[in-house]
Amino acid sequence: MHSTPATIAMPVETSGNFLGYLWRNQESRAVIIQVVTIAALFALIAMIARNVAINLEAIGKEFSFDFLWATSAYDITFSPFIEYSSRDTHLRAAVVGILNTLLIAGCGIVLATILGFLMGIMRLSSNWLVSRIVYCIIEFTRNVPVLLHILLIHGIIVTSLPAPKQAIPIGESIFISNRGFFVPSPVFEEGFWLVVAAFLTSVVAVVFFRRWAKKVQDATGKIYPVFWISLGIIVGSTSTVFIATGMPLSWDIPELKGFNYKGGMSLKPEFLALWLALSYYTASFIAEIVRGGILAVSHGQTEAAQALGLRQNRVLQLVIIPQALRVIVPPLASQYLNLTKDSSLAIAVGYMDVVATIGGISLMQTGKEMETMIIVMGIYLTLSLTISTFMNWFNRRMALVTR
C-alpha cells in the first residue's frame, strides 16, 4: 500500500489577523484613530449642512450671499476710514464694521500692553503705598465683568461731560463734550508721500543701526546711545524732507456750528468707552503676567547686574525684561485674543463694529442668519489666527537658542 504524504499546514494570514496587527502597532493605530476621527467630523458637518439645507428649503429660504450687494438703508455714526451712507451696500457696511473692529482691537492692544507693563512693574515697587494702590486697582478690575466696565465708562462720559456748546476746551483746537472728543484731523497735501517715504527709510536705517550697535557691544563692550541716535535719525530725516517739500500738511480744526462741532475728527463716547474699558481691564491681567514673569527671573541676575555698576533702569531694561519676556509672551497672546473677542460687546454701547453691522442690523433686515453669522465667525477666526501666528513667531524669536 502506498501511504499518502502528510500535507504540511501553512499559516494563512487572514484579514482579521492583519487588522489586529495594525491595531496593535502604535504608529498605525494612531493613524487609524486620526482617519476615523476626521471621517466622523466630516460626516457630522455633512449631516448638519444637509439638515440646514432641508430646513431652509422648507421655509422658502435659499443659502446665498447676494444680500451683500443690496442697499443697507441704515446709518453708521462712526466711520473714520472710509465714507459711508445709508445708500451704500451691506458689503460696505460690513467693511466699515471690520475696520472699526480692527481699530478698537489695535488701539486696545497697544494701550493695554503699556498699562499692563507699567502696573506690573509698579506692583513690585518697594514703595508700599504705590504697590498697594496698584494691587487694589488690579483686584477690583479683574473681579468685575468687562461689560460693566464698558457701561461705567460710557455713563461717566455721557452724563458727566458738558454739552457741545459748553465743551471743555484744551488749547484752541481740542474740545471735550458728552458727544465726543473733537480734535483736529490732518489734511495731506501733494508731496506728502515723500515725507512718508523718508520716515519709512529712516526706520529701516534705525533697524540696521541697532543691529550694528548690538554687534559692536557684544564684540567690544562699547555701548552707543541707541535710543537717542535712532530718535535723531527718524526725526531729523523726516523733518528735513517735510520742510524741503514745503510742509505738505495742514489741519482741519473743529468749529462749533449750531448744536455740534463740524470739521476735524470726532472720537465718539462709544469708541472711548469701549477702548478705555477693554484696555484697563486687559491691562489688569497683563500686569499679573508681567509680575509673574519678573519674579521668575533669578534674583542673582539682578545682583550680578548691580555688581557691574548698572543703574536700576538699565538692569530692568537689559537683564530682567529680556529674560522675563520668555515667560510673559505665551500668556500675553491669550490676553490679546481675549481683548479682540471681547470687542464684540461693542453693541452694548452702540459702537458699530462687525457684530453690530453685518451681524446685527444687516441680519435683521435681510433675515440671512446663517450667512451673516458665517461671515462674523470667519472674521473673528481670521483675526484670532493672525494674532496667534504673530505671537508664536515673536515667542520663537524670544526663546533661548541652545546648541
Least confident among 22-26, 30-34, 217-221, 353-357: 22-26
Give the residue extent of every domain in the chain: 25-58, 90-145+268-398
Q: How remote is the C-alpha of 256 from its chain's centroid?
A: 35
Q: Which three cell numbers stand for residue 357?
A: 453691522
Sheet holding 174-177, edge to edge: 168-170, 174-177, 180-183, 265-267
What homologous superfamily is domain 90-145+268-398 in, according to CATH? MetI-like (1.10.3720.10)
Give me the pLDDT at residue 400, please: 59
Q: How remote is the C-alpha of 253 from its chain's centroid?
A: 31
Q: What is the DSSP string of 292-357?
A: HHHHTS-HHHHHHHHHTT--HHHHIIIIIHHHHHHHHHHHHHHHHHHHHHHGGGGGGTT---HHHI
The residue to which cell 535719525 is assigned: 233
- Please tell me the distance from the alpha carbon of residue 278 to that of residue 268, in angstroms, as a whole number: 16
Question: Which distant-in-sequence residues (6+ apart) come within 8 Å of 212 by Cβ?
Answer: none
In this predicted model, which residue has the larger pLDDT, 403 or 19?
A: 19
User: How confident is the model over 291-306, as pLDDT tens digits?
Assistant: 988 888 887 877 787 7
Asked whether residue 258 carries a pLDDT value surpassing 80, the answer given is no
- Please tell me the distance from the alpha carbon of residue 272 to that of residue 153, in angstroms, as a whole number: 8
Local structure of residue 360 (DSSP, 8 states): I
Q: Which three cell numbers stand for residue 399?
A: 526663546
User: How confident is the model over 357-368, as pLDDT tens digits?
Assistant: 988 898 888 888
Give me the pLDDT at residue 401, please: 52
Mean pLDDT computed over 187-205: 89
Q: Which of 149, 181, 148, 152 is nearest to 164 (CA)?
A: 181
Q: How remote is the C-alpha of 170 from its chain's centroid?
A: 31
Asked whether residue 326 carries a pLDDT value surpassing 70, the answer given is yes
Question: Which distant-in-sequence residues (6+ apart) come within 8 Å of 343 by Cβ?
Answer: 101, 104, 105, 108, 274, 278, 353
- Please tell me the distance from the alpha carbon of residue 245 to that of residue 241, in angstroms, as a whole number: 6
User: How confident is the model over 118-128, as pLDDT tens digits?
Assistant: 999 898 888 88
- Per-range mean pLDDT, top range of 66-70, 85-89, 112-116: 112-116
pTM over 0.85: no
Confidence class for position 15, pLDDT limits 50, 70, 90: low
